[in-house]
Amino acid sequence: MIYNLIDTKNKLIYIGEASKLVPRLRQDHSSIPHWDYFRYDVLPNEIAEHRQKFERMLIKEFAYLLANKQNIEYKNIGRFKLANDKIV
């Protein structure tokens, strides 16, 4: 699964991946501690083993659109900031 955590008050978006969503959501997310909304996509079984690659691709895509912690040049399409610490 690929999931998004959103902190609507602080305007942050976090992108993550998990094989088991509920235990992952219960873990600490220090990059976005006050998230109040989440969404997820279940990958088809035949590509589920590649979820980490999809996650990294989405993080890079969002980094080029939103302000981010790595100071990657971005298009500033919204008021939100990408909360992920690691952008590969």
The pLDDT > 70 percentage for the chain reads: 100
Q: Write the CA distances from 14 to 4, 41, 45, 46, integer angstroms.
A: 5, 14, 24, 25
Mean pLDDT across the chain? 96
Task: Provide the pLDDT for residue 88.
Answer: 80
Q: Write the CA distances from 56 to 8, 36, 37, integer angstroms.
A: 23, 23, 21
What's the whole-number mean pLDDT along residues 68-82? 95
Q: How confident is the model at residue 76 (pLDDT cuts 50, 70, 90)?
A: very high
